[in-house]
Structure 1
């Protein structure tokens, strides 16, 4: 659905996107993550022809992003935290305005979404809560059954209940419709529920791209007790991230975990006499934080 090849975008002295290459597969939810200032929103704006890339190439729905037109936009849904809606309109007026722009607009599906999202038709957009406005924006981007849905920080500022309703609704619809979803968000817990695939960008370049299942299978939080008077060696394996010692306890993140036996053997080899480690799986949020810390250290 999306192919990005060596994409560059600079704003004066700041290179926001620095040679990014990425493919977004059809029919999956791809989470596009990264630290603040990594280039996520700039990349999305280049994909939607809101920014023109300085060099490189991006294709969306098989079309050069710089040549996107009505034929492509009627197959794409886009929701951003910074969307400017016509706040003076009621929800009904807003939908009346949007409907003629999309030949494939499905009135029955619109009605289903209105019920599912519990949006009041007669209320003006300006009088809706932020969460309700985001749901109205999502409805207006889904009612024409797009092939591709792009979400840029859609959960920002939403309370937990609305966020949960938003996610559940999007999950059900994505499975039902077989949509391709490309979502950028800082709400890692919510993304974990949605994403089939994780792509992480750092300083404008792709740092990681793999399935969510693969990523979580290879990361573990490790804690081990060292022998008396033994200090943590300086030359631990490079895939043991953020190793720290507190008293006799060594803690680190294993980023290439295979199985418990192999990890115990590696630990005994690195630090003879150490006890069998405690090993636990990590949430996507914990993995992201560990990687973000590693990226920050790499940049120093």
Structure 2
């Protein structure tokens, strides 16, 4: 994760602190990880490094990551499925592969269409 071991945490940049937090989280041997906006506030290069760390340091056969984020484009390559919450309720759930193959859409387009349909139903 390209973390300097010679610098104290309080003296690190925000991006380096983010990498330390990710390493500390993934350093635990857990079956499930719950992450809330882990990429928020980081520049694109740091986000890319953090996403690569998720890929490199998790075992997709034995570990599951639940990720809450608004950064869908950045995390889309990581996703197997998506659950959409609106006002505390599940309004959509789909496998990413189905979004591409059945709906012939990218995740953002599918999400926008889902939320537009939900708005029509709520009227």
Q: Name the TM-score class by shorter chain.
A: 0.7 to 0.9
Alignment length, in residue pairs?
A: 123
Q: Distance in 2 between matches of 1:134 and 1:120?
A: 13
- Which structure 2 residues correspond to residues 98-109 of structure 1 after superposition, within 5 A? none
Q: Distance in 1 between matches of 2:37 and 2:58?
A: 18
How far did residue 156 of structure 1 move? 0.6
1:285 corresponding residue in structure 2: 108
How far did residue 177 of structure 1 move? 6.8
**Structure in which a larger fraction of residues adopt helix:** 2
1:296 corresponding residue in structure 2: 119
String of CA shifts for 1:101-122, please: whole Å, max 9, x gaps: xxxxxxxxxxxxxxxx111123
Larger-Rg structure: 1
How far did residue 174 of structure 1 move? 2.2
**Structure in which a larger fraction of residues adopt strand:** 1
Kindly indicate whether residue 53 of structure 2 is the aligned counterpart of residue 142 of structure 1.
no
Distance verdict in 2 for CA 1:209–1:156, change over 3 Å:
same
- Of the three residues 46, 49, 53, the one matched with 1:165 is 49
Kindly indicate whether residue 74 of structure 2 is the aligned counterpart of residue 190 of structure 1.
yes
- Which structure 2 residues correspond to residues 31-42 of structure 1 after superposition, within 5 A? none
Preserved CA contact (<8 Å) 1:196 1:212: yes
Distance verdict in 2 for CA 1:292–1:130, change over 3 Å:
farther
How far did residue 143 of structure 1 move? 1.5
How far did residue 196 of structure 1 move? 0.8
Length-normalised TM-score, structure 2: 0.85
Distance verdict in 2 for CA 1:139–1:298, change over 3 Å:
same
- Of the three residues 130, 152, 155, the one matched with 2:14 is 130
How far did residue 124 of structure 1 move? 2.6
Q: Distance in 2 between matches of 1:296 and 1:176?
A: 35
Point out where structure 1 has 5 or more consecutive residues left out of the alignment.
1-116, 220-280
Length-normalised TM-score, structure 1: 0.38
How far did residue 299 of structure 1 move? 3.4
Equivalent position SS for 1:209: strand
How far did residue 131 of structure 1 move? 1.9
Preserved CA contact (<8 Å) 1:202 1:295: no
How far did residue 153 of structure 1 move? 0.5
1:214 corresponding residue in structure 2: 98
